Every structure is written in structure tokens, then in C-alpha cells.
Amino acid sequence: MRVLGIDPGSETLGWGVVEGSGLKYSPVEFGTVRSSPRDAFSKRLAKIYGGVSDVIDRFSPDVLSIEEAFYAKNVSVAMKLGQVRGVVLLLAEQRALTIAEYAPRLIKQTVVGYGNAEKHQVGEMVKILLRLKAAPTPHDAADALAIAICHFHHAGFQDRIARSQTK
């Protein structure tokens, strides 16, 4: 299975591709799609669509694993994040990818063992779990890899539940 993790952001969207099965996985590639805050928001959404589309074309993932929307104090920020998520989810549907969404706290709990972990802690655990020489940078890419890793842990659990129910 090949999983594309997405950490949505309107200025910097992190992505990371991880492949494997069960709890055995390895990194494929990671990076970001960057947009200028000076551009019209519609242009930023178009750049995100094009960038994520290119990643899907290059790496042919089976699953898109994305961070769920969270509550933000600033309504404008929450709305923009929702629009970025919408663009990415639309693209995943158009490409017939399986979609998995995970809450930020669950991702941190799964990868770090602590739901309130800080960015550098997530990066260090991603480095360890993927056997990288250094923590991925920027943190948006590290977070995207964490989201993909989270899917491996929870998808395997869901598969075991489904198999036990068919017996």
C-alpha cells in the first residue's frame, strides 16, 4: 500500500508518501507545495490543486490520508483551511483514491504517544519511525509523513476488525 499524507495549509501544504503494509513501512518522498500569501486565494487553491495532482501523478498512491479540520480561534483561518481540504479531497475523489481523515490529536498520539506533542517531537519520531538521518523539514512535510504513518497504524487495525467480523 502506498499512502500520501497531506498536512493542509494555504501557504505551505506538506505532503509525504510512505509505502508498506501493516506496521512495516518506509518513506518514498516528501515535500511541500508553497503559495505566496500575496496571490489571490483562488490562485493559491489552483497552485495547491496542481501541486498535489503532480505528486499523485509521480507516486501513484492508493490512499490519501489527511488531517481533519480543527477548531481555530480565527474563523477566517478555519475557512481557508476548509477550502484547501476541499480542493485536496476533490482531487482524491477524482483520482479514485481511498480517503482517510485523522484528527490532529490522534495523529500525535499515534506517532509520538502524546496527543499534545509539539512540532519538533513529531519530526523526531517521524525520523525514528522512518529510519531517516534527520527529521524532515519543513515541519509541514514531517507532519504529512506523520499523517501517512498514522494511517498505517489505524488501517491495519480496521482491517483486523473487518476480518474478525466476517468469521
Tell me the torsion sign for CA atoms 73, 78, 81, 82: positive
- The cell numbers describing 90, all together, are 476533490
Q: Which residue is it, cell 479531497? A: 89
Residue of 7, 39, 68, 124 marked catalytic? 7
Residue of 67, 101, 143, 159 marked catalytic? 67
Residue of 62, 140, 143, 159 marked catalytic? 140
Residues 83, 80: Cα–Cα separation, whole Å:
5
Q: What is the DSSP string of 75-118?
A: HHHHHHHHHHHHHHHHHHHHTT-EEEEE-HHHHHHHHTS-TT--
Closest CA to 6 of 76, 111, 104: 104
> Is-contact 16 144, C-beta < 8 A?
yes
State yes or no: is 62 an active-site residue.
no
Catalytic residue numbers read 7, 67, 140
